[in-house]
Amino acid sequence: MADSRRQAAFIFAKWLQTRDFPATMLPEGPERAFVQDLVYTAIRHQSSLRFMLAQLLKKWPRGEMESLLYIGAAQILEMPSVPDFAAVSATVEAAKLSPNPNVPKTVNAVLRNLIRRRDELETLLSREPLAVRASFPPELVERWRAAFGEDGCARLCEYFNRPAETFLAYPDGTFKSLPHGRKVAEEPGYAEGAFIVQDPGTAVAVRLVDARPGEKILDACAAPGGKTVQLAWRGAHVAACEVNPRRRRQLEENLRRLKLEGKVQVLANIPDYPAGEADKALVDAPCSNTGVLRRRPDARWNWSRAKLAQLKGLQADILDNAAKCVKKGGLLVYSTCSLEREENEDQVEAFLKRHPGAELVQAEKSLPFASGVDGAFAAAIKL
């Protein structure tokens, strides 16, 4: 198991440097699930782990030692299924692969001290602000506090710090939670395309589209294809658009497994779809992902006002382009997995001002601390 710690430490170190998607760095093979748990736990609790480790260090380390300490502390403090002795011994064994002999000695001493002083350090942590205790950027915590109140903000942070469940969605509209540790590919019906992996929070947008047999529907931001599949299962003629080549290949792979490759048209760009031809369009827009931080623990650390402003502009452009593809009197459904008003209600209001003939039919928002599923927003607009 030392090798899995070594892999996790390498991925975490690379993430610290690049802020790339950690999911794209995970290894294939039997250790993948455990490595993912280690990496995601360390990322999710980065602030609180750093605070507690800093009490035990005279100088904060960098590189290999820093990453190994995070991985070791994550197991001790946030992964109760891993015994303390196993967390220390396996992480130290991973550290022994370092050419620097001080790395395993320091890792061993700090992690053992962490176990001895855990109660004291947890008391110190409890006196820190919520952003440190719950491990979120302070600016994001302040936004949520203003939007949802002190209790709602705390409940959101608590929800997002739980490991994400895996849900399977079926053609009849039902969802099933997959037991932790069970592989999706081993679930009965996987090879036959009997289900897709999708959180129940996505049901809001699909419900507002209300796809009917024979309708022409443009899915403007389709990858990885969960909502595309839901629309096709309901008998609609779906054109799935995805501008990113890598994500488009992922979409096509999912359609093949689900036996839908010949029933869904895949496009690279929205203008490739004829203007005014769609009965409906779904814009599941790129967003800040603040409703799905259980699944994207790295997204909390990538959040910024500058990125939010950039996303708002992109969302508006996609909405306007998708609207051109919908016939007069048709329906445009806009959705995000964000909790931020600028990306949701404000975006819809701005679209309605740009398109005076459009009319808001319905809007829904899923707040995780109330719904118990991923956060989501969706609005149906008649054009």
Banded model confidence at residue 29, pLDDT cuts 50, 70, 90: confident
CATH topology of domain 2-128: N-utilizing Substance Protein B Homolog; Chain A (1.10.940)
**If 0-12 CB within 10 Å is exposed, 13-18 middle and 19+ buried, where does residue 339 land?**
buried
- Using the predicted structure, report yes or no on whether residue 330 has a pLDDT greater than 70: yes
pLDDT of residue 53: 98
- Give me the pLDDT at residue 164, please: 87
How far does the chain reach from its first CA to its final CA, in angstroms? 57
Which is the CATH superfamily of the domain at 166-382?
Answer: Vaccinia Virus protein VP39 (3.40.50.150)
Give pLDDT, residue 378. 98
Find the catalytic residue in 157, 221, 287, 337.
337
> What's the mean pLDDT in 307-334?
97
pLDDT at residue 335, as a whole number: 98
Could you tell me if 253 and 246 are in contact, meaning their C-beta atoms sit under 8 angstroms apart?
no
Tell me, yes or no, if 221 is annotated catalytic: no
pLDDT band at 352 (very low <50, low <70, confident <90, very high): very high
Q: What is the mean pLDDT of residues 365-376?
A: 92
Distance CA 247, CA 242 (A): 7
The string of pLDDT tens digits covering residues 40-93 is 999 999 999 999 999 999 999 999 999 999 999 999 999 999 999 999 999 999
pLDDT for 227: 95
Q: How confident is the model at residue 1 (pLDDT cuts 50, 70, 90)?
A: low
Instruction: Categorize the per-residue pLDDT at 15 as very low, low, confident or very high, splitting at 50, 70 and 90.
Output: very high
Ranked by mean pLDDT, the top range of 100-104, 367-371, 376-380 is 376-380
Mean pLDDT (whole number) for 315-331: 98
Residues 6+ apart with CB under 8 A from 236: 211, 212, 213, 214, 215, 216, 217
Average per-residue pLDDT for the chain: 95
What are the residue boundaries of the structural domains of the chain, listed by start? 2-128, 166-382
* DSSP, residue by residue, 335-382: EES---GGGTHHHHHHHHHH-TT-EEEEEEEE-HHHHSS--EEEEEEE
pLDDT mean over 311-323: 98
Taking the model in full, what pTM does it have? 0.93
- Indicate the SS3 state at residue 168: strand
* For residue 337, pLDDT beyond 70: yes
* pLDDT band with cut points at 50, 70 and 90 for residue 2: low
Per residue in 231-283, pLDDT (tens digit) is 999 999 999 999 999 999 999 999 999 999 889 999 999 999 999 999 999 99
Percent of the chain surpassing pLDDT 90: 89
